[in-house]
Amino acid sequence: MNVKLRVLTAGVLFFTGQAVFAQEDTTGSKKVKEEAIEQVVVLGYSKTSTKAKSTSASVTVGAETLENRPNISVLNSIQGTAPGIVVNSASGSPGSGKFNILIRGMSSLNGSTDPLYVVDGIITSGSQFRNLNSYDIETFSILKDAQATAIYGNRAANGVVVITTKGGRFNSGLRISYDALTSFSTMPKADYNTANAKQLLQIQKNANGGFGSTLTQDAIDNWTIDTDWNKEFTQVGINQQHNLSVSAGGENINNFISLGYLESEGIVKSTDFKRFTLRNNLNGKSKNGKLTFGAILGLGYSKRNQLDDETNTSISSNVIQNPLFGGVLSPSYVAPSPYADGLALYNAIGTASGANRPYVLMDNIRGGVRNKYTELSITGNINANYQLTDWLSVGNRTGVDFKQHDRIFARSALGYLSLVTALPAGQAYGGSETFQTTNDLTFNNITNITFNKSFGDHNLTVGAYMDYIKVHVNSNAQTQNGLNPVQWQFGAGTGYIPFNPDTPNIYRPTVLATKVNAGTLAFFGTVDYDYQDKYGLSGVVRRDGSYRFALNNRWDTFWSAAARWNIDKEEFMTDSGFRMLKLRASIGTTGNQNLVSVANNSNPLTQLPTNYLNYYDGVSAYQNLLGYSFINLANPDLRWEQVKQSNIGLDFNYKGLVEGTFEYYQKRTSRLYSSINYSAATGTYSVRGNNGKLDNKGVEGLLRFNVIRGEKMKLSLFANAAYNSNKIVSLDNENLADDVVNAIGGPAQQYQLYPYIGVDPTDGNLLFLDKNDNVTKDPQPGDRRLTGKSPYAKFTGGFGFNFNYSGFFFDTLFSFQQGGYIYDNLNAWQMIPSYAQNNINVSADLLNAWTPTNTNTDVPSLTAANINSDGSSDRFLKKSDFIRLKNISLGYSFTKDQLGQLPVRSIKVFLQAENMLTFTGWKGFDPEPITTYSLNVYPNPKTYSVGVNVDF
């Protein structure tokens, strides 16, 4: 962690790091030598500790790591910075909520694996933070072991992320800061060896199908059109962000206020994001110091245009509706679309969409399909703590997290997809428009009483807490079918064709609404004991209640216990050079009540709210009479998933030269959410219940070498790495009927495939191994075997360096992952000869396909009899390993002396790049997303930025 000193006023220090230089005294006559300052560790429920006294496994990322990055979500900036947390962005679409966040592995097979997020002490429903300005964040802390997470009980099975925003400082002068960043984003390149125009035409001619088969060889050799479809569907995204903050503090009150604006163009045309944020953090205390209080308010408003595929999974593999395939699969011998709109396109091609896929996709991104989201977020809390006596205090924190999501989706009146559905059916008007609004309010109230007293060499802190959460979510949607292109404008509510009872099957509007109220209540106690700063004990006992479960299972108990030994405090370590050498251990339990993976932009507490109840819903039945539909069969025995975790860790700092942490942990998830078979006589074949066990084991390490520590020159090298092994211990209902399975004894989401071994040189057919390891050309489903491979990387981490010399700085951050696999669908599609025959672009590798005169090749014959038998083979199962230069920055910080009479304290200018280089064997655009199949991937862009920070 870089050391950053901010001088606030005479004799006052603010630090982020482990060592700072003290300021000159009030006379300016002398300087205090460098001294160690204890690093603050942020824990749960606004508790803090020092690094030396903490018994938990946690890591904190400071503001200097998050600032000056072009990422919309702060989660993008965490990748590679800390061991044990895997951050993968599943979409590079600006403002996307698709994130895969895993802390110490996958702790559930069917339930949510997302960590719990806590912002300024208040539990939030957020899972993507597109409306949280990273410039406003002071610390980003990841709580990993049971001691750190058990305090959050039923919601902490997947770890906890605690975000603390910036505030003012007491006794500080006025400080104004302005930050500006301009960025340019580009599409990464794939390595599929995609055919150019002449190559594709030749492949079609060789395969005797498609447009090329109708041309003479001379016509192919002299073909002039060669469209780069990536240029037609993508663009250089121009991004900018501006941030202004003002802070000041007196003796008893301080305040921090910030304004932020961000605008980002997507690398795929028609996608973009804009955001405005406002934050005000006020802190105060009484004159006698017994009362401390604070008020925090954060506002955010954003709007983004997304592709339909971002939330519509039904078109993830649709080559006519999903523009993400346009750059790869569009035939290069076709010129870009000359048609102004979908009507002109329809008049030209009629219903022949399959032969004109790129034109349809271009119409989609030109306005044929519109998908606009806006989000208003309001977060706020007030907190107060009163010191009743020197050793007893009471406190309360009450907060709200409100989000309003509005979506407008339209298949426009002149969009091709609208017209090709309506006009052939005799309808005069096509198109549809949907308005959807979701209001999501989370209320959190935490009350505590704390006892803290020292008895000689002993210090004891005991706390008692009550935590109440209430969630109210309601949504409504209405869809109008039939749009008049003369009057219709996107989002204006105009041009709607009225419903006619004489034609009830067309132009019929639809409406729907949902409402969910949810809540949890918890009582818990904490204890922390310290003796002579050498030995420490900590514990948590928490009693949780949730609305999700029947009365007999509504309450459960979670706990943790931990101990530490500060070896460096022992007399025999006096001259050892260790500033810190601490051994710690913990054990405990946490729970998971989120029954399913949380949908994008959804509150996890509202998913499957009635799963333990028999539930019926009203429907329109025969002759439009009221009827009832059976929705859910009750399982009153449904309970929390439970995670039991043990951890042992070592923290050390040797002479300030080498510092780091090593961890070993074991986690077992029991009572897994899984299907329980029921008799078919009930009409329901299975219900969600608890059965099975899942283990995660791993090691983590974090090292920093402060190689050069001179006055003018500083160089630090850092690295972190984690290994996680995931294993299913037991399942009552093991289902091995698919290509991706959860098999006992193997990792979660394991590939079950038969081996592909090459091409038969005698006839060009594909060769596989059957279940008995015999060579076969006709593999059967029963020949599939467990591979031991899954999408989840076993090794993850990051490394880099920080270099400073006389105001210049040069910083790098690499991230890496190893051991994961993804089935590469695009690679598979580009190797299918029939796709070329259907005017879909393919790989130029097919020019090397087997023929009677080309038998020494690894490409099957274009007419191989078993060409479609490789779908359940490992032919296209590829490693997703990578080393990525995640961030590199170069800049210069001007000192006050250099700035002379300018009314500024400091200026920093810099250049930086994000995702600049990726070293990988993966052929696709982006190996980062964790997914079983590489469908529907909006890649994370390469981004180059120039920025300036000014402090007044």
State pLDDT tens for residues 674-699: 887 776 666 666 777 899 999 999 99
| pLDDT of 615 above 70 | no
At 440-451, the pLDDT tens digits run 999 999 999 999
| pLDDT of 67 above 90 | no
What's the mean pLDDT in 328-350?
Answer: 95
DSSP label at residue 268: B
The confidence score (pLDDT) of residue 378 equals 95
3-state secondary structure of 327: helix
Distances (CA, A) of 813 to 62, 382, 657, 707, 891: 15, 37, 20, 17, 15
Amino acid, single-letter form, for residue 537: L
Using CA of residue 680, residue 686, residue 687, residue 691, what is the dihedral sign?
positive
At 115-162, the pLDDT tens digits run 999 999 998 877 778 999 999 999 999 999 999 999 998 889 999 999
Cβ-count burial of 870 within 10 angstroms (0-12 exposed, 13-18 middle, 19+ buried)? buried
Distances (CA, A) of 481 to 119, 345, 500, 510, 617: 42, 21, 12, 8, 25
The confidence score (pLDDT) of residue 936 equals 82
| pLDDT of 717 above 80 | yes
Distance CA(834)–CA(861), nearest Å, equals 12
| pLDDT of 171 above 60 | yes
At 853-880, the pLDDT tens digits run 999 999 999 999 999 999 999 999 999 9
Residue of higher predicted confidence among 155 and 772? 772
Residue 466's CB is within 10 A of a number of other CB atoms, namely: 14
Amino acid, single-letter form, for residue 926: D
Distance CA(416)–CA(425), nearest Å, equals 14
Average pLDDT, the chain: 90
The confidence score (pLDDT) of residue 676 equals 79
Strands 877-879, 122-123: parallel, antiparallel or unpaired by DSSP?
A: unpaired
At 213-265, the pLDDT tens digits run 999 999 999 999 999 999 999 999 999 999 999 999 999 999 999 999 999 99
The confidence score (pLDDT) of residue 127 equals 72
The confidence score (pLDDT) of residue 679 equals 65
The confidence score (pLDDT) of residue 600 equals 73
Q: Which of 694, 699, 697, 652 is nearest to 673 (CA)?
A: 694
What's the mean pLDDT in 901-926?
Answer: 93
Q: Which residues contact 563 (CB under 8 A, 6 or more apart)?
A: 55, 535, 536, 537, 538, 584, 585, 586
| pLDDT of 51 above 90 | no
Residue % of the chain over a pLDDT of 70? 93
What's the mean pLDDT in 311-331?
Answer: 90
The confidence score (pLDDT) of residue 620 equals 56
The confidence score (pLDDT) of residue 356 equals 93
Residues counted in the chain: 952
With cut-offs at 50, 70 and 90, classify the pLDDT of residue 36: very low
Residue of higher predicted confidence among 316 and 810? 810
Using CA of residue 596, residue 599, residue 604, residue 606, what is the dihedral sign?
negative
The confidence score (pLDDT) of residue 454 equals 95
What's the mean pLDDT in 777-801?
Answer: 96
